[in-house]
Structure 1
Amino acid sequence: MDQPAEAHAVKRLDPLLPEQADAADPDVHAWVAASAGTGKTQVLTARVLRLLLAGAAPPSILCLTFTKLAAAEMQARVMARLAHWAGCPDDDLAHDLAAIRAPVDAETCRRARGLFAAVLETPAGLAIQTIHSFAQGLIASFPVEAGITPGFQTLDDRAAALLRRRVLTDALSDRSDRGFRRDVEAIALDGGEARLHAIMAGLGKYGEALAALRVEGVDPLLRRMLGMADGGSAAATLAAGLAGLPWDALADMARALGQQSGVNALKLADGLAQVVGAADRNGLWPKLWGLFFTGKNEARKPTGLIPKALDEEEPELREFCVHVQNQLLAIRAEQERWQILEHAGRHLRVAVRLARDLAAAKHRAGVIDYDDMIAAAARLLAGAGAADWVRFKLDSRIDHVLVDEAQDTNLLQWDVVQALVEEFFAGKGQRDRFRSLFVVGDFKQSIFGFQGADPLIYRAKKEQFHLLCEAEPDRWKELPLSTNFRSVPLILDVVDRVIDHVGPEQFDRDAIPAHVPHKQGAGTVLLWPPLLAKADNGAADDAAAEDDGDSDEPPLAQDIELARRIAASIAGWLGDADPLILPASGRRARAQDILVLLRRRGRLMNALVGALHDAGVPVAGVDRLNLAEPLAVADLVALVRWVLQPGDDLTLAALLLSPFCNLDHQHLTALAAQREGSLWAEVQASPDLDVAAARDWLAELLRLGRNVSPYRFLEAVLSGPLAGRRRLLARLGEEARDAIDTVLDQALACEAAGAASLQAFLTWMAAENLEVKRDPEAALDAVRLMTVHGAKGLQAPIVIMADACGTLRTEAGALIMPVANGPELPLWLPPGLVQPPPALADALAARQEDARREYHRLLYVALTRAEEMLCLAGAAKANKDGGLPDGTWFGMVAGALADAGLVAVDDPNWPEPVQRLHAGPPVAVQPASLAPASISLPTDPWWQRAAPAEARPPRPLSPSALGPDPVAAPPPDAGRQAAARRGTALHRLFETLPGLDAAVRDVVARQWCALNVPDLDADELLATVSAVLDDPAFAAVFAPGALTEAPVAAVVGQVVIAGSIDRLLVTETDVLAVDFKTGARVPADLAAVPPAHVAQMAAYAAALAAVFPGRSVRAALLYTAGPRLIELDAHALSTWQPSAALPPADPITILTQ
């Protein structure tokens, strides 16, 4: 979403720019390249509106968005505009039609005013939805054809994670498959439990391809990919390779080196002598490799191997060393093939087994996940047979397809889109009218490679659809949108400079037009000085320096200091001493104006939350919280686990060291080291005062945990006398508050799902990689922190790129590539590959290059979130020269602005001057925004008092139950029961028969009586009803338009009146309510009517007076045994008044049917 949603119903549409109008033209296929902030949502909305105005039926339009938020935003815009058109003045409608370049004639205006009703009358409304929602609806309509169990249920992320965990647990419990257990044990030793969960997570995208394999087919498949013959072994291959080395020459080299005086030469001579003289040279292969290569697997320089004196004596040794290194590389390449076969093979075998188990578990449960939806939809629309019929059905329904955020659409999703629109170009559709495709995206903003998105696919699809449109070239339009409505000119100039400095080819394969500002005003860029940790240059020798492989991550202290300095700067902006005035808006900055962006979640984001809390800055917390990471979550889960199992010593030990009990390791050692029984028994028996305090706390914890729901238990621990929240925040800091609140939210969600026990809560929290998402556009006056990925589509007046000094990490995880000309599969490769096979080497290089280009596109997305002010900061390990590492975002922006006129400005929050760039016209400051907000602090410590009992809402009063009833009625005898059944039957006949002809009425009544009350006298019932219906005196009661059994509810005074009126007639001036009484006793007049009946009708009259103010309300009782109609006079209707002192309240509702 490029622009925030505002009051759509009252604001006139801004006229489309010429290129926007071309894109919104419903008579062309449009492929739109929309740079950031160019109003693509406005164009999408205008295109939908013009399609509707041109006569497209609402169900014939399908708009596919990338996120639910985008779908909801667009749906709201379209519906708000249509609702506005339905009743707006003619000049407003004419303005809007002209703004979107639609015809402004009488017919178009008439159609525009009826569109809102037309869309509302469409059963499913406008189909503006995510592609997952469309796929779900598609396969729900054709489940058998899609190969899905009819009536399937869709798993959300949590349910899918829990199912994967259950499948993994069941597989690990299976002792019959020894090969699987061996593979799992090896994987666990190599990558731990996290590796197994990573394999499980990959089953979503590649589960279908994996499940199609057989475990025994994995080895042959990998051998074909690696070019390896059947049989053989790594040991035999290594022995053959080593046998080909020039061992005699190596022995001579060792002797020559042994005569030198240098330490390195003697070490090399000794190492060579050991290998040359070894009986088992295979075992010394790592040592031989290390003699000629560094710890980073880089070839040692000949000058580092051969001393200068020996080099002068035997210059041929240099060339000999290079020759040996080449031979060792060849041996290494063969060994790495065997390592890949073993390492990737075990991972692939485990993945195949788990994929099959997961597919079987889903089939048994009748469930699918989000990845299954897309795969099933693509499979449903592909091929022939049933797919032809499905496409035929869709072809008859869908005429226009619009695709949003197309650069983030993966290949499988494109297959679905292509199947939908191919008939548009083939000319074989059922309809003669023009059918259109609209695609909007931006190569520069493709940043979701980890989800399978590839901008090259986006580009290839453009060419493919263009070719399909060759028969009608005038119908195909490729349109760039470059006018930016979001950012001031300075921000856009910075973006253009960065693109030119880095290289346009790093952001897009096509030429990138300059960003044209539509919004005017001043802007500011701040480059806060990077916090650099000094590099360790104290290597003992060149070899040690070459082997230095320390991480480039800054120390934790640097991140904490960076967070503190950023928080201090923000606090200064928002404070009253020197408030920040937005350079273009001219008003005082608010917390909600600030968006802090990071490349990834982690310790810096957590440190920023804590630092902002400490500085008194309102902060919304992180955009996504992984519940497996915060210590506060781990402490709360341990607390629940121990309450369920007090004999769990390990969990109790963690609790004793946690902020809840606050003991140290000395206390724990004293309790646990020499214990004979359980740890809890030792705690209970300890005389130590600190342990006694912990014991009392834990005892109260056990008491609270008896027969209580997860939320009530946790809330009691956190907010009650145990003060759990205070204890956690005291040690873990304010950044723990968000995690604590999230755990409480999860407890409520767990209970809402029907799992209201502590054990169920533990299972609920055990879902792998459980992430909780926050609405990024929630209306909070607080600083927002999120990743750049999460901020896609958002904007803010002030954007802070807080980790701009990080470098691109080497891609890790499974390599995704086609295996042996088959489908793409995840390959887990062994670390430290030096000479991978060519196919793998090309794939690895391509992956790293793709990552580098996406790293640059991510920078573009981050820069273009800013409206008026952009700040960059970061911490890093300094390079060997003491400067910023190469390839950082900070370095790219600083380099791009080197000649832009940066000015050094002193800032007390930073150790060095801040580089500042400001440009644009001066702005008039809004005086009202400078006044500090008036804050009234309560002096009454209300939070320390117990909350009063919550007032209950009034219980609805039923008028039929009114009246004195001093004595409980005895149980009804047979006669009373028969009378009650007769009364019920008469009510039903009075409800059904009015409006029917007399002849038809008789037949219907007798059939109903025979089916429902065969024991009653049908003739008597029919005679009673007919006597009433045929009497002209009661014609008004049964007039056409009168409602039967009309429910009514209203608030009168402070009482809720709710009931059902037997007969209700509403006219422009009057309201008549009639209630049937079927008893045998008929009052002679109003004075003889039972008080309960009078009170009942008086209450109905009071409710109807509130519902229909200004109309005359009449009430009457129809005694069917007479028949006699007795109308209540004004005095009778006034006998029931809830409170004369209170004004009548607005009615709640009246339901008519």
Structure 2
Amino acid sequence: MQDSAFKIYNASAGSGKTFTLVREYLKIVLAPAHTPGFRQILAITFTNKAVNEMKQRILKSLYKFSTSSPGKNEDPLFLSLCEDLSCSPEQLQHQAQKALRYVLHNYAFFDVSTIDKFTHRLIRTFSRDLKLPYQFEVVLDLKELMQEVVGRLLSKAGSDAELTKTLIAFSLEKIDADKSWDIANDLNETGGLLFDENQLRYLEALGSKSAKEFRELKSFLREQVSASESEIKETALLCLDLIRTNGLERTDFKSGYFPKFLDQIVNDQGSLNFDAGWKVKFGEEPLYSQKVALEKKEILDTLLPRFAEHFNTIRNAFYRAAFHRNAYGNLVPLAILNALQAELEELSRERELLPISKFNQLIAREIKDQPAPYIYERLGEKYRHYFIDEFQDTSELQWNNLVPLISNALEGQDESGRKGSLFLVGDAKQAIYRWRGGKAEQFLNLINLSDPVFTISPEIRNLPRNYRSHRCIVEFNNEFFKITSPVLSNPGYQHLFNGGDGQQTNQLEDGEIILEFIDRSAEEEELAYGARIVDYIEAVRAKGYGYEDICILTRKIKQGVSVAEYLLNYGLPVISSETLLLSSSPEVRFCMALLEISIRPEEANPRFEALQFLNSVSASFNWAMVNDLDGFKGLLTDVYGIKWKDFSEMNAIDALEYAISCFKLNPDSNAYLNFLLDEALQVSLREGPDVAVFLNHWQNRKEKLSIVAPEGLDAITIMTIHKAKGLEFPVVIFPYANTAIYEDKNPKLWADVPETSYCGFQSLLLSKKKEMLHYPGKIADLFHEEQAKLELDAFNLLYVALTRSIAGLYIISEFTPGKENNTISRYSDLFVQYLQDTGRWDNGESRYVIGKLPEPVQKVREEEKPLQQVSANIYSGKQHLEKKLLPARKMSWDPRKEKAVAWGNLFHELMSHIIYETDVNHALSTFTDERTVEAEQLEILKEKSDTLVTHPELNIFFRPGNEVRNEAEIITENGLILRPDRLVFRDNKVSILDYKTGKPAEADKKQVREYAEALRAMGFSVSREVLVYIDEEIAPIFI
């Protein structure tokens, strides 16, 4: 039976997904006479780590197949491919050798990529069509970008009359609602919608609305609220009149509830609600108590239908008013959204920025309708085979943008009559990126065949066996999610977790799960969790597991930070890319305080921070110095030798290095300081070297900047569940396992409304509240749908956390005894339900052990390496001042100059790869593999480099036989580091070439002469000193 060209693999956790992807990839590459086919493969996944893993697996497999003895190769992948390709082991080995050579010689075409990188390539290719700047910068930190946009917008208040009026109205409404008048946070939150792919449809509709139309809608909503409030009051007065005219007293009503309710409406509707039990059942039970006289009972029974009708009128009007009030409260920020969009576009033009969130929107708007052959022609590639990993996290826009390319390959044929192929791999149970546009329903629709995209139907394949975890862990997860799945209100979501018999186990026996509920009433949360984590670490270490075998998973970064601090204080080695915050280092905080003092000397807080550090590491200084600037500066000058005038004139990097040197903060090296310097360098290159620029960046990013430690160290890993997706660890500890299932921070929902009834608006933005269940129309359905999605998100996150473990899984949660009802709202409730349903629950027990921890697998190690601190590589004392590159002085940063410098750096980097004139093509291939270069830009680079190496006056320096040193460092006698672009040694003489992409300047000649003097001082004979200016023409100047 012939394989389908369109396969979908439904791959649960640990089911051999990467193995399957590599096998299908190699089936194409190793097919006889089809080795070049690898250049027609595009494999897309979602993280750089996954990209590297897949590339390594492919190359290692090819290498292993090429070098192992065919007859003795029992590799499951090798044997599977022999069977799939109907070839002998000898034939497959020959194909593998051939394929490996081909892949390595054409490595630039080895296209395994993240979807963002592929999209970036598309945008670079079409940058001119999209009217994007030639050298646009991709912005990853969207929160920081929006803060700047909001700041710029607010600065226009007072100069833009329309904007000023709107902003003042917004502030006044916040004051009326007893909230802070400061609207910056509201605007940042609303502005975030501009980056949210899920909001695109609604925002496009709003984009055409004018300020006048927003004002009209605002007035309409206010009128609707007022009309509903009037109707409520009038109806309440009718009811009171009925009571009076029928001779009824307030005491005739059960507990006087109903008359009191009516009085409340007449006097103060602000505190009105319909939560009480008698209101929920109004009209179903008598309004009187049994002690009321019979004739009064008869009157009340007669009036009950009318009272019920009026009550329903009041209730409906109340929720109608609540609906319009909700929409009104979200309207003013939305009215400013267009202004924020305009400000964002202006900032992006000025700085030549492109937010990463705009990638898919740009392609969807400008590229998707182009014919696929045209897109391929511009890309310079023609893909025929597509692999998409983690499809459940693919957004709707991403998928829609890929469909035209895939359709062209899948439904057409190449010159040889071969069709293309598509392999999708995913698991809806691991969809944890809805907030980033991921749509699990998209994957479900494909595997359920309910949303056909291509003319070819997919072949659905399930990967049923778990190859990762030991038996008890697999069985625990099967049972746990089957028992708890009825909590999911959507039947389709339920089926994900309870359909079938769960995953099949493998040959790995045992496996340990411990479920523990801590009581933290008597101590702080961090201490309670930290102590138990340490206990589990020590327990598994005692059984032979190493620190590197242990991973601690947390739902939130903040929780991971607490764990990391606790373990570090306990003396345990830790690595993490998220939780080792630079701001947790006293030395870093001290350095940043000194920077702040240098530009804001009047501020007392930085002096307090600095004194606090100094008092913690040396003799006690007088705290009065906090309020005595001159005394503080004098103290630091006398004791540590800091020269404040010099310090205050330095740029950020020099200032940090100077502080580290003066205060001797690096006797044993300090990784935190090293990373701080790296961050300062990156900011300097991107935004400028000023101290103020770096301090602003620090304020915005200090809660995120952390140390990234290398892999392979014997240390405990701490990461969030999101980061752990796709990974596995022998031992997993999951503390803080008490997440709220319906946790959602200030959620918003769009409600569709009749366009003719709402001033031409098709939808309104609402704050999600439980009262939405009673709003008019289908808004209650909207609320239920969102709740169901939250349930799925919570289950999926828990599924990812519980399926990372190989041998040991330790869950630390909380349980509060005496819970009044059996509602399930947290992970702890799910764990309790599981224990109850399996007969394990004991009210007096807080710890439950399932299975047994197996012996650790002995790993073959190249070398046992202890966890080491990363050296900060910082100069100190006089050496710091003398042996260094020429410092960048404080200056205003010109983006246009920055782009020119960027182009010059690009050209210089390319030329650093060229030794001889024959190296240009190879250098370009290496160069483009390391970065994304726009096609037109690549042409210019090729043209300039070809012209340079073949130039009649310069070709002699690029001929074979020369000894060449590109960008060699020369350290002069006084410690200055020089770096000429090219040194050519021939016949005991050296020639100097230095490339310049700017206009000729006398300083350029001076620089080359310095190179020559330094070389002569080293004993070399300098024959030629050449400046090569790269402009419209290649213009060499021989000095």
Confirm or deny a common fold (TM above 0.5).
yes
Kept in 2: contact 1:187–1:347 (CA 8 A): no
Aligned position for 2:234: 243
Query: What SS does the aligned partner of 1:592 have?
Result: helix
1:305-384 matches, cutoff 5 A: 309=291, 314=296, 319=304, 325-383=311-369
Distance of 1:874 and 1:1061 partners within structure 2 = 69
Shift of 1:1046: 3.7
Answering whether residue 126 of structure 2 is matched by residue 153 of structure 1, we say no
- Distance, in Å, in 1 between the alignment partners of 2:662 and 2:412 is 71
Instruction: Give the aligned residue type for 1:112.
Output: A
Q: CA deviation at 1:40?
A: 0.9
- What letter corresponds to residue 29 of structure 2 in structure 1? L
Match of 1:104 among 80, 87, 90: 87
SS of alignment partner, residue 723 of structure 2 = coil
8 Å CA contact retained: 1:527, 1:871: yes
Larger Rg: 1
Task: Indicate yes or no: 2:94 matched with 1:113.
Answer: no
Q: Is the 1:395–1:430 contact (alpha carbons within 8 Å) kept by the matching residues of 2?
A: no
Asked if structure 1 preserves the Cα contact closer than 8 Å seen for 2:581 and 2:705, the reply is yes
Check conservation: 2:395, 2:437, Cα contact below 8 A: yes
Instruction: Tell me the amino acid that sits aligned with residue 149 of structure 2.
Output: V
2:804 aligns with 865
Q: What 5-or-longer segments of structure 1 have no aligned partner?
A: 1-21, 276-280, 534-554, 582-587, 672-678, 727-736, 906-910, 938-942, 956-987, 989-1007, 1014-1024, 1026-1040, 1064-1072, 1077-1095, 1101-1153
- Cα drift, residue 759 of structure 1: 0.8
- Please tell me whether the aligned partners of residues 36 and 484 of structure 1 are also in contact (alpha carbons under 8 angstroms): yes
Shift of the alpha carbon at 1:568? 3.6
1:73 aligns with 2:58: no
Is it true that 1:572 corresponds to 2:538 in the alignment? Answer: yes
Find the aligned partners of 2:582 and 2:211 in 1 and give their Cα distance.
Answer: 35
The question of whether the paired residues in 1 share the 8 Å contact of 2:103 and 2:110 is answered with: yes
1:492 counterpart residue number? 474
Q: Which moved more, 1:349-358 or 1:32-41?
A: 349-358
Q: Choose which of 698, 704, 707 in structure 2 pairs with 1:771.
A: 704
Q: Secondary structure at the match of 2:767?
A: coil
Aligned mate of 1:786, from 708, 719, 730:
719
Counterpart AA for 2:359: M
Partner of residue 563, structure 1: 529
Residue in 2 that maps onto 1:1044: 961
Cα 1:351/1:295, change in 2 over 3 Å: farther
Aligned 8 A contact 2:43 2:387 in 1:
yes
Deviations 1:226-254 (A, max 9, x none): 9x979945323421342133243476499
Give the Cα separation in 2 of the matches to 1:26 and 1:774.
47
* Superposed CA offset, 1:1008-1041 (max 9, x none): 9xx989xxxxxxxxxxx9xxxxxxxxxxxxxxx9
2:794 pairs, out of 855, 863, 872, with 855
The CA distance in 2 between the partners of 1:468 and 1:825, in whole Å, is 28
Q: 1:529 aligns with which of 514, 517, 521?
A: 517
Residue 650 of structure 2 aligns to a residue in which SS? coil
Task: Please give the alpha-carbon distance, in whole angstroms, between the structure 1 residues aligned to 2:653 and 2:277.
Answer: 53
Sort the Cα spacing of 1:253 and 1:97 in 2 relative to 1 into closer, same or farther, 3 A: farther
**Partner amino acid for 1:455?**
A
Q: Residues 32 and 752 (structure 1 numbering): CA distance in 2 closer, same or farther, change over 3 Å?
A: same
Q: For 1:491, give the aligned amino acid.
A: I
The SS at the match of 1:867 is: strand
Residue 775 of structure 2: aligned partner = 836
C-alpha contact (below 8 Å) 1:50/1:102 kept by paired residues: yes
Contact 2:412 2:420 in 1 (8 A): no
Is the Cα–Cα contact under 8 Å of residues 511 and 851 in structure 2 kept in the other structure? yes
Instruction: Report if the CA contact (8 A) 2:517-2:814 is conserved.
Output: no
Query: Displacement of 1:314 after TM fit?
Result: 5.0
Q: Does residue 400 of structure 1 match 2:388?
A: no
Q: 1:286 aligns with which of 267, 270, 275?
A: 270
Equivalent position amino acid for 1:172 in 2: L
Distance in 1 (CA, whole Å) between partners of 2:9 and 2:515 is 34
8 A contact 1:625–1:773 mirrored in 2: yes
Q: Give the match's secondary structure for 1:63.
A: strand
Give 1:137 deviation, angstroms.
1.0
Please give the alpha-carbon distance, in whole angstroms, between the structure 2 residues aligned to 1:694 and 1:298.
71
Contact 1:188 1:195 in 2 (8 A): no
RMSD of aligned alpha carbons? 5.7
**Residue 178 of structure 1: CA displacement?**
2.4
2:268 alignment partner, SS class? helix
3-state SS, counterpart of residue 392 of structure 2: helix
**1:470 shift after superposition:** 5.9
Distance 1:646 1:782, change over 3 A: same
Counterpart secondary structure, 2:792: helix
Q: Conserved in 2, the CA contact under 8 Å of 1:683 and 1:692?
A: no
Report Cα offsets for 1:871-915 as digits up to 9, x if no partner.
11123655545x99734334434443557686999xxxxx96632
What residue is the counterpart of 2:934 in the other structure? none
- Which position in structure 1 is the counterpart of 2:1003? none
Query: 1:84 Cα deviation (Å)?
Result: 4.6
Q: What SS class does the counterpart of residue 732 from structure 2 fall into?
A: strand
Partner SS for 2:320: helix
2:399 equivalent to 1:422: no
1: CA distance, partners of 2:510 / 2:467: 14
Whether contact under 8 Å (2:464, 2:503) holds in the other structure is yes
Deviates more, 1:392-401 or 1:758-767: 392-401
Which residue of the other structure, out of 480, 486, 503, is the alignment partner of 2:485?
Answer: 503
Q: Deviations over 1:146-195 (max 9, x none)?
A: x242524242324x544433322221111312243136536876585433
User: Is the CA contact (8 Å cut-off) linking 1:61 and 1:399 kept in structure 2?
Assistant: yes
1:742-764: CA deviation from partner (whole Å, max 9, x where unpaired): 65553343345463332121232
Q: 1:43 to 1:685 in 2, by over 3 A?
A: closer
- Say which SS state the counterpart of residue 378 (structure 1) adopts: helix
Contact 1:33 1:480 in 2 (8 A): yes
Q: 1:194 aligns with which of 164, 185, 188?
A: 185
Q: Distance in 2 between matches of 1:395 and 1:431?
A: 20
Q: CA deviation at 1:424?
A: 3.5
Deviation sequence 1:337-357 (CA, Å, 0-9, x none):
321331121121122221232
* Alignment-derived partner of residue 1004 in structure 1: none
> Structure 2 vs 1, CA of residues 466 and 886 (structure 1 numbering), >3 Å: closer, same or farther?
closer
Indicate conservation of the 8 Å contact 2:963/2:985, yes or no. Answer: yes
Matches within 5 A, 1:882-961: 886-898=824-836, 914-919=847-852
Distance 1:183 1:363, change over 3 A: farther
Counterpart mapping for 1:36-115 below 5 A: 36-54=13-31, 55=34, 57-85=37-65, 89-91=69-71, 97-100=78-81, 101-105=84-88, 108-115=92-99
The Cα shift of 1:796 comes to 1.3
Residues 828 and 172 from structure 1, CA distance in 2 versus in 1: closer, same or farther, beyond 3 angstroms? farther
Within a 5 Å distance, the mapping from 1:617-1016 to structure 2 comes to 617-621=572-576, 623=578, 640-648=595-603, 651=605, 655=609, 683=628, 705-711=647-653, 713-714=655-656, 721=663, 743=676, 745-753=678-686, 755-767=688-700, 771-772=704-705, 778-817=711-750, 819=752, 827-829=765-767, 833-834=771-772, 835-875=774-814, 878-881=817-820, 886-898=824-836, 914-919=847-852
Which residue number corresponds to residue 676 of structure 1?
none
CA drift at 1:919: 4.6
CA distance in 2, matches of 1:477, 1:269: 67
Q: Which amino acid aligns with 2:103?
A: V
Q: 1:558 Cα deviation (Å)? A: 4.4
CA 383–951 in structure 1, closer or farther in 2 if over 3 Å, else same: closer
**CA drift at 1:26:** 7.1
Q: 1:203 to 1:873 in 2, by over 3 A?
A: same
Identical residues among aligned pairs (%): 17
For residues 1022-1037 of structure 1, the aligned pairs below 5 Å read none
Please give the alpha-carbon distance, in whole angstroms, between the structure 2 residues aligned to 1:724 and 1:393. 52
Q: Report what 1:35 is aligned to.
A: 12
Normalising by structure 2, what TM-score?
0.71
1:47 and 1:770, CA in 2 relative to 1: closer, same or farther beyond 3 A? farther
Q: Distance in 1 between matches of 2:531 and 2:851?
A: 22
CA contact (8 A) 1:521 1:923 kept: no
